Amino acid sequence: MTALVLTVLAVLAASALASGTEAALFAVGYPQVLAAVERRRRGSLALRKLQEDLTRPIMAIVIWNNVANIGGSILVGGMAAEQLGSRWLGAFSALLTFLVILFSEIIPKTLGERHALTVGLWVARPVQLLTRSLMPIIALVELLVRPLAPAKVRSTSEAEIRALTRQGGREGTIEQDESELIQRVFRMNDMTAGMIMTPLAQVDALEASTPLGKLNSWAEEVTHTRIPLYRADDINSVVGVVNVRQILQGLADGRHDQPVAALAVEPWFVPASARTDDLLREFQRRKQHLALVVDGLGTLQGVVTLEDVLEELVGEIEDETDLESQDLIRLSSDALLVQPGASMRDVTRALGVPCEGEGRLGDLLLADLGRIPRAREKIPWRGLSVEVLEAHRQQVTLMRVERPAPEPSPDTA
């Protein structure tokens, strides 16, 4: 009887180890494995190698599990029939089935999934040895299943990384500001120069032939540091960009008759469709802080600065020269109090979301709705959540605009 009990325990243990190992290898996330490698945890390199292609390791574990279950059942069944007789064989088989389900499947798989990284690091090297020892059988199985299961290359999508980042922010694994920064990095690829530029109507510009002497009072009041220079009263004929500091230096040096164009550097033009992540690299490469945004016909649309691009990454940057817009009042990092005259670009920029349209927010909202919304009406619109706070028969006068909360990512099994 002792031999029978020991054999049953050995079969249950072999099967449980296989089940727990399989569950852990499926449950452990590849980012967790890479983090373990960076921390140089024991077994992390072997686990990373397994995670790069789990097909063969899983085949080896399945073969091992079936050998343990089938071979063990045959062995245990023979021993039980010899020692217990046919009278108790049925009851013994039922008990063995229950024990296999509970102790060789449910419990080890639950533990393997719950402690996936720890178990994975512990079993990685033994699984590698098992896989090598069973390679002849695995090669035969691969030959049989290859037409039905083409090879799959592991990859991690942007959506998965963003979901993991949001999950980490909610769980406290990473700081909330770190999570937001990562989300902004991915949003940069969705933003263009046309979305974040300062429109031409708000750009300070100078006629290139203007003498420095005429800019004395102007230079003291201007709020921008880099000014486009145009020629022949045509704003689209930009010939250079000058730094206000150079103008002030020229005035200090007494060069009042010198045209401002003598201080200019060559202008840099970018299409309105240029992505902000590409712009950031170009700003670094060119060592410039301002680019002129043009459309497909070469018509000047506005200017975009290095600060504009950085604000898409880190949020609004304000200094003592920035003028507070009366159309926007920030309530929180995710909510604004907005008057209908506010520009769509300013609203989306303040909330850190892609700009889906140019013009005044009130005009765009009414154009999409085809009606004047009612007070207290909540409207999901162009990736924003809009609540009308005040409205009359003829117009909307005040709105609360929020960035919708991200959808919760599905729990990983």
Residues 371, 388 contacting (CB under 8 angstroms): no
Give the integer Cα–Cα distance in Å for 124 and 104.
20
Q: What is the pLDDT of residue 317?
A: 62
Q: Which residue has the tokens 């504009």?
A: 308
State mean pLDDT over 92-118: 85
Q: Which residue has the tokens 């921008």?
A: 224
Quick check: do 193-314 and 328-402 share a fold?
Answer: no
**Residue 404 confidence (pLDDT) above 60:** yes
Fold of 328-402: 3.30.465
Residue 226 CB contacts under 8 Å (≥ 6 apart), including other chains: 241, 242, 243, 244, 289, 290, 305
Please give the structure tokens belonging to residue 80.
Answer: 């039980």
Q: Which residue has the tokens 């800019």?
A: 215
- Number of alpha carbons in the 13 Å side-chain half-sphere of residue 123: 27
Global pTM reads: 0.49
Q: Which residue has the higher pLDDT, 247 or 151?
A: 247
Q: What is the pLDDT of residue 267?
A: 92
Q: What is the pLDDT of residues 350-362, one digit of tens each?
A: 887 877 777 788 8
pLDDT confidence bin for 95, thresholds 50/70/90: confident
**Among 169-173, 273-277, 402-406, which range has the highest average pLDDT?**
273-277
Q: Which of 200-209, 214-223, 364-373 has the lowest mean pLDDT?
A: 214-223
Q: Which CATH architecture has domain 193-314?
A: Roll (3.10)
Cα-based angle 347, 200, 401 (whole degrees, multiple of 5): 5
Q: What is the pLDDT of residue 413?
A: 38
Q: What is the pLDDT of residue 290?
A: 92
Residues 131, 138 contacting (CB under 8 angstroms): yes
Can you spell out the DSSP letters for 276-290? HHHHHHHHHHHT-SE
State mean pLDDT over 391-408: 80
Measured in residues, the chain has a length of 413
* SS3 label, residue 207: strand
Mean pLDDT of the chain: 82
Q: What is the pLDDT of residue 316?
A: 64
What is the residue extent of each domain of the chain? 2-145, 158-188, 193-314, 328-402
Q: What is the pLDDT of residues 300-326, one digit of tens each?
A: 888 998 888 888 777 666 554 444 456
Pairing, β 396-402 against β 384-391: antiparallel
Q: What is the pLDDT of residue 379?
A: 92
Crossing angle between the packed helical segments 30-38 and 116-133, to the nearest 10 degrees: 90
Q: What percentage of the chain has pLDDT greater than the value 90?
A: 12
Pairing, β 269-271 against β 335-338: unpaired
Give the integer Cα–Cα distance in Å for 8 and 165.
46
Q: Which residue has the higher pLDDT, 336 or 88?
A: 336
Q: What is the pLDDT of residue 26?
A: 85
What residues are paired with 328 via a beta bridge?
Answer: 338
**Residue 330 confidence (pLDDT) above 50:** yes
Q: What is the pLDDT of residue 412?
A: 41
**Residue 391 confidence (pLDDT) above 90:** no
State mean pLDDT over 71-97: 74
Residue 121 CB contacts under 8 Å (≥ 6 apart), including other chains: 36, 41, 42, 43, 44, 47
Q: Which residue has the tokens 């920030």?
A: 330
**Residue 261 confidence (pLDDT) above 80:** yes
Q: Which of 95-104, 128-137, 149-158 has the lowest mean pLDDT?
A: 149-158
Q: Which of 196-210, 224-238, 320-334, 397-411 has the lowest mean pLDDT?
A: 320-334
Nearest in space to 210 (alpha carbons), one of 243, 236, 247: 247
Q: What is the pLDDT of residue 323?
A: 43
pLDDT confidence bin for 34, thresholds 50/70/90: confident
State mean pLDDT over 20-37: 85
Q: What is the pLDDT of residue 156?
A: 61
SS (H, E, C) 308-333: HHHHHHHCCCCCCCCCCCCCEEEEEC
Q: What is the pLDDT of residue 14?
A: 86
Give kind and range of the element (H or E) at residue 348.
helix 344-351
